[in-house]
Structure 1
Amino acid sequence: MMSFPGGTSVSHLDVYSDAAGDGICGGSPHLHLVSTEAYLVVSGEGELQSIDGEGYRETPLTAGSVVWFTPGTIHRAVNNGGLRVVVLMSNAGLPEAGDAVMTFPAEVVADAAAYAEAASLGAPQEQAGRAARRRDLAVAGFEVLRDAALAGDPAPLAAFHAAAGALVRERAAAWPGLVAAGPLAQAQESLALASAVAAGDVGHLATARVHEAAASTGERRFGMCGRLRTYDVTAVPTDQESSR
């Protein structure tokens, strides 16, 4: 039984089209500490603003673009018109467990309670407003990091990385288990199947099945970069699948 390829998660993202405090339309800048993220652009135009050890960069996004960024890359999705992407995240379940830190100003990231308050979406009727406010706060911190990168000063980025690590350290204790049960387990299963085929055993082919992902229902939820439609890509046990 295998889950979605590579132990990844998949979602459909409509990047926010309203303007942040700097007049640019798009999402909340943030990074992931362990997971790699990929954008497969479905339609529209925009760009990915990013900050990493090599500095600040703007990568154009148009229909058909495939862009991915590794852990520690601060990224901001910019919507120049109708930008919609399919998002693939490595380590399915880990991003949902807190593998992301938004680029709030340094004093907020250094205070776990202040960060939690700034990141919270609150009650359903508050979520649109709070999503916009947290995006604007993340953009304010992003501008400081961007300007430092453009000036050739690596210290603010290094300080943000350290603060982000400190912020998530306690909850990160559960992350190795999520990786072991997800992508590592799938890689081990693939290795076992490859070894079986090499030994002339193809018995697993008889259990082949098609799986269809169930999309989340109702309104798209507010994510960091836009409105999300998520998909349940966990594997269905063979006995359940065959009973349909």
Structure 2
Amino acid sequence: MRYPLPGGVGVSRLCVYDTVTPDGLPGGTPHIHLCCTEAYVVTGGRGAVQTLSGQGFAEHELSPGALLWFTPGTVHRLVNHGDLEIVVVMSNSGLPESGDAVLTFPSEVLADPDRYAVAAALPGGGAPGTDVTSAYLRRDLAVEGFHNLRAAVDRHGPRAMREFYDAAVALKRPLLDQWRTRWEDGAFRAAQSTGVQLDALARGDASHLRDARVMAVPRPTEEGRLGMCGLLDTYVP
């Protein structure tokens, strides 16, 4: 039997990149998710998250104990002011790993699926031990595109985001059937199970309580994978 994390979420520990990007700010790679809401629980250090949406640009300070989350379509960029560490909680566990992210590369790269794939790829998928240089190169290209997009939003308002969203959807459309299967087997099934339990309780049936289990993962399943925002330690129950 499969026992997912509550609600079918994904959990990882993130040490944010601390090298300087072309605009002088150390941190991660700006990107969006198309289907996943993301939450940050700050556990160490200090920093900020810069965001872009139809509402424009915003920046939120991050310090230990802070909780921040954002919905799909929010461009987000982590800035590391010193030893920034975060526990990341993602809806729809498995979707981000299956490609539910679009990096803010310049528009000419976004418009060409082949160029985008080359620019976004990491050797070995960024497995632990991979040279981090490739992650920095794609991050710096995304920072360039982030500033282009921010300038376009300042000039043209929400219309600039719609153009970016259209490009993002075109890139990811071939993956949608695979994403739907992961959602149905993950978060959707987890939500349905609560309904089944409520129906059983209404009948006076407590059989699912007799199947109670405790699960534990003593250490991250994988440590040091190159993520978009930093080094990831991931938990796969």
* TM-score band w.r.t. shorter chain: over 0.9
Q: Which residue of 2 aligns with 1:150?
A: 154
Task: Answer whether contact 1:121 1:127 (CA < 8 A) is retained.
Answer: no
Q: Which residue of 2 aligns with 1:80?
A: 81
| 1:115 aligned partner, one-letter code | Y
* 1:209 positional shift: 1.0
**Secondary structure, counterpart of 2:177 in structure 1:** helix
Task: Answer whether contact 1:21 1:136 (CA < 8 A) is retained.
Answer: yes
| 1:231 aligned partner, one-letter code | Y
* 1:152 positional shift: 5.0
The CA deviation string for residues 6-52 of structure 1, in whole angstroms up to 9 with x for no partner, is 11111000000111011101100000011111111101111110011
How many residue pairs get aligned? The number is: 232
Equivalent residues in 2 for 1:29-68, closer than 5 Å: 29-68=30-69
Equivalent residues in 2 for 1:10-25, closer than 5 Å: 10-25=11-26
CA distance in 1, matches of 2:116, 2:216: 37
Task: Answer whether contact 1:48 1:61 (CA < 8 A) is retained.
Answer: yes
| 2:168 aligned partner, one-letter code | A
Task: Answer whether contact 2:55 2:158 (CA < 8 A) is retained.
Answer: no
Q: Which residue of 2 aligns with 1:236?
A: none
Task: Answer whether contact 1:41 1:63 (CA < 8 A) is retained.
Answer: yes
**Runs of 4+ displaced beyond 3 Å:** 123-127
Equivalent residues in 2 for 1:89-168, closer than 5 Å: 89-122=90-123, 127-168=131-172
> Does residue 190 in structure 1 map to residue 194 in structure 2?
yes
Task: Answer whether contact 1:12 1:84 (CA < 8 A) is retained.
Answer: yes
* 1:150 positional shift: 3.1
CA distance in 2, matches of 1:155, 1:141: 16
**Secondary structure, counterpart of 1:80 in structure 2:** strand
Task: Answer whether contact 1:8 1:90 (CA < 8 A) is retained.
Answer: yes
**Secondary structure, counterpart of 1:48 in structure 2:** strand
**Secondary structure, counterpart of 1:27 in structure 2:** coil
The CA deviation string for residues 75-109 of structure 1, in whole angstroms up to 9 with x for no partner, is 00111111100001111111111100000000001
Over 3 Å counting, the alpha-carbon distance change for 1:170 and 1:139 in structure 2 is same
Task: Answer whether contact 1:55 1:152 (CA < 8 A) is retained.
Answer: no
CA distance in 2, matches of 1:151, 1:61: 28
Q: Which residue of 1 aligns with 2:221?
A: 216
| 1:194 aligned partner, one-letter code | L
CA distance in 1, matches of 2:193, 2:158: 41
Task: Answer whether contact 2:31 2:77 (CA < 8 A) is retained.
Answer: yes
* 1:147 positional shift: 2.0
**Once structures 1 and 2 are overlaid, which stretch shifts more, 187-196 or 131-140?**
187-196
Task: Answer whether contact 1:15 1:225 (CA < 8 A) is retained.
Answer: yes
CA distance in 1, matches of 2:164, 2:99: 16
Equivalent residues in 2 for 1:225-236, closer than 5 Å: 225-233=229-237
Identity %: 46
**Once structures 1 and 2 are overlaid, which stretch shifts more, 9-18 or 173-182?**
173-182
CA distance in 1, matches of 2:38, 2:25: 22
**Unaligned runs of at least 5 residues, structure 2:** none
| 1:114 aligned partner, one-letter code | R
TM-score between both structures, scaled by the size of structure 2: 0.93
Task: Answer whether contact 1:19 1:26 (CA < 8 A) is retained.
Answer: yes
**Unaligned runs of at least 5 residues, structure 1:** 234-244
